Amino acid sequence: MNNNKTKKVVISGYYGFNNFGDEAVLGVLTDSLKKEEVKDITIISKDPKQTRKNYQTKSVYTFNMPGIFFAILRSDVLFSGGGSLLQDVTSSKSLFYYLFIICLALVLGKKVVIFAQGIGPIRNKFSKEVTKKVLKKCSFVTVRDEKSLSMLKNWGVSAELVPDPVWNIHISRKYSHNGVGVQLRRWNTLTDEMLTAIAKSIASTFPKKKIFIYALQKSQDKDVCMLLEEKLREFCPNIYTQVVISRSPDAISDSFSHLDMLISMRYHSCLLGLKYEYKVLPIVYDPKVETLAEEFGLTNRIYLYNEQEIDSAIKRFNSENYEKNEKPLPHFDFSIYREYIK
C-alpha cells in the first residue's frame, strides 16, 4: 500500500440506534477523521440511511454481513468504538458481535484501533478469555477510564488511556432558566417504587423550577420519562415539566444550556452536565457511571435500592453549599491515532 495514500476507514459501534452518547462519539470521530483528510469512511449502522445523511459518509447495515465483509475488505483500518461495546452486562450476543467484527478485520489483514472504549464488565470466563486474546492482536487499544486500563494491564494487553471523545462536543453559552434536568433510562432496578420515590422527592424539592426530562434514546428512555412526568404532576399539579425526546447531539447540547443542575442516569448525560459545569447528581445503574462519579469527586449519588436514600440525596443536591466539580475537564486529542490513518 502506498503510504502517501489516505487510508479507507470502517467504523464499528453502537451506531444508528438514536442514542445521544454514541452518536456524539461518532460525530467527534468522523469530524476528526475528516480533518485528517480521510475521505473514505464507512460506518456500520442500524440505520444506514440516517447515518449517511447525518455524517456525510458511506454506511452499511449492522447485520448486512456481506456488505460489512466487502467494506472491511476494501478498507485499511477498522475503528471499533467508542462506548462500552466489549461487555456482557447488556448481553453476550452484543459482545460477540463486536468481537466478530474485529476478528473479521484481523483475518482480512487490516489494522484495528480500539477507540476510547470502556471495557467490561465481562462476567463470563470464556467471554473474558476470548476478549483478551482478540485485544492482544489489535494494532492500538485506547480506553476511556482507569478501571479499563488496569484490567487490560492485568490481562497483558497494551493500552493507552484517553479522555472520552464527547468531552470535545460543542456546548452553547449557558442561559439560566431555573431549570433542573432529569435524565432516566429503562433499567431493571428502576422499579415503579424507585421511580415514585424520585418523582416525589423532585416534586417536593423543586416545586417552582422547570423540570426538563431527557429521553436520550427513545426506545430505552421515552416510556420511563413520560411516566416520571405523570408522577411529578400527581405530586405537584402546578409543576412545569417538559419531556425532551432524543434529538441530535448538538440539539441536546443546546437544550442543556438552559439548565442549572442535572440528575442523570446515563454516562454521557452526566459528562455533558460536567462540561457545562453544573451540579450533577448521578444515578448509578452501571459501573461506568460510578467510575465517572469517582473521577470527578461526585460523592453524592443515587443508588436504586433504597427509597429513603433517594430523598436525602436529592435534598443534599439542592443545598446551597453543595460542591460542584472543581477538577479541570479533559480534552480529547485525536493526534495519537494519526499514524494509523496515514
Give me the residues paired with residue 81 across strands.
115
**What is the full per-residue pLDDT of the chain (342 aa) written as tens digits?**
345 567 899 999 999 999 999 999 999 999 999 999 999 999 999 999 999 999 999 999 999 999 999 999 999 999 999 999 999 988 899 999 999 999 999 999 999 999 999 999 999 999 999 999 999 999 999 999 999 999 999 999 999 999 999 999 989 887 767 899 999 999 999 999 999 999 999 999 999 999 999 999 999 999 999 999 999 999 999 999 999 998 899 999 999 998 999 999 999 999 999 999 999 999 999 999 999 999 999 999 999 988 889 999 999 999 978 877 888 999 999 999 999 998
pLDDT score, position 117? 97
pLDDT at 253: 93
- CA 210 to CA 252: how far, in whole Å? 17
The pLDDT assigned to 2 comes to 41
pLDDT at 273: 96
Q: How many whole angstroms separate alpha carbon 191 and alpha carbon 211?
A: 21
Per-residue CA distances from 98 to 20, 33, 102 (Å): 20, 21, 6
Domains of the chain by range and CATH? 8-162 (3.40.50.2000), 179-317 (3.40.50.2000)
Give the residue ranges of DSSP H helices in the chain.
20-35, 48-55, 65-73, 92-107, 125-136, 146-155, 192-205, 218-235, 249-256, 267-275, 287-295, 307-317
Q: What's residue 91's pLDDT? A: 83
3-state SS, 269-312, equals HHHHHHHCCCEEEEEECCHHHHHHHHHCCCCCCEECCCHHHHHH
Nearest by Cα to 53 from 221, 248, 215? 248
Res 301: pLDDT: 96
pTM recorded for the entire structure: 0.92
Identify whether the C-beta of residue 139 lies closer than 8 Å to the C-beta of residue 340. Answer: yes
